[in-house]
Structure 1
Amino acid sequence: MAADQKYIRKAYVMELLEGKVDEYKKSHENVWPEVIENLKEHGVKRFVVNWLPNTNLLVCSVDVENDEQWNSISKTDICKKWWSYLENSVLFKDGSPVVKDLVEFWSLN
């Protein structure tokens, strides 16, 4: 991707299972190197997970090269393995985390 080409920003909310904030945080202090490599190989430039204190809500933001690459991550074996690892801390449905996409209203670029 050319240096002047813009990334697509995705933002969404996920829900932790009750009492699993510390477990989720610990898992992300030790993200497997192959997970990070997989994200980069699929056009992820930046990925941030924020926790809304005193809730079970995570607000995630990711900058990606394109929708196709982003959507293909969930089909990779390492992503499925990582999700399986997180299944005891995050709300899942049909084998993947339940996410609610956010709509961007404004951004200072």
Structure 2
Amino acid sequence: MQTQAFTMKLKPGFEEEYKKRHDEIWPELQSLLNEAGIEQYHIFLDEKTGTLFAFQTLKKNHTTETIPQDPIVKKWWAFMADIMETNPDNSPIETPLKEVFELQN
């Protein structure tokens, strides 16, 4: 299993709206993420800074490389662009994080 972690940035004042939109995630987007092999996807919010910390686990031999080209994802990005810091194509500005420690039982 592979784990990916990254940060994104929420615009001030949109904390509740961000949660609401994710509570109502589109079924077709959820299916796409599942089909891509994403088994878990967690997003946490630092309320003081608006920083979103996300991590996802992928099934073995899966990748998220093609997800950004999917029309459903592009539609989601456009839907979220008003409440997040984004690139010109509406994709969220993501900062990948390097894993420096893991504890396993």
Compute the TM-score of the two structures, normalised by the length of structure 2. Answer: 0.91
Show structure 2 runs of 5+ residues with no match.
none
1:43 match:
37
1:9-39 Cα deviation digits (max 9, x unpaired): 0000000112111111110111011111000
1:73 match:
67
Please provide the CA RMSD for this pair.
1.5
Is the contact made by 2:37 and 2:62 (CA closer than 8 Å) also made in structure 1? no
**Aligned-residue offset at 1:53:** 2.1
- Identical positions, percent: 27
1:90 match:
84
Aligned residue-pair number:
103
Q: Which moved more, 1:15-24 or 1:42-51?
A: 15-24
1:65-106 Cα deviation digits (max 9, x unpaired): 368631111111111111111011110012111000111111
> Aligned partners of 2:30, 2:56: CA distance in 1, in Å?
13
1:52 and 2:46 equivalent?
Answer: yes
Instruction: Report the residue type matching 1:106 in the other structure.
Output: F
Instruction: Report the residue type matching 1:57 in the other structure.
Output: T
Instruction: Report the residue type matching 1:98 in the other structure.
Output: I
Is the contact made by 2:7 and 2:54 (CA closer than 8 Å) also made in structure 1? yes
Show structure 1 runs of 5+ residues with no match.
1-6
1:13 and 2:7 equivalent?
Answer: yes
2:28 match:
34
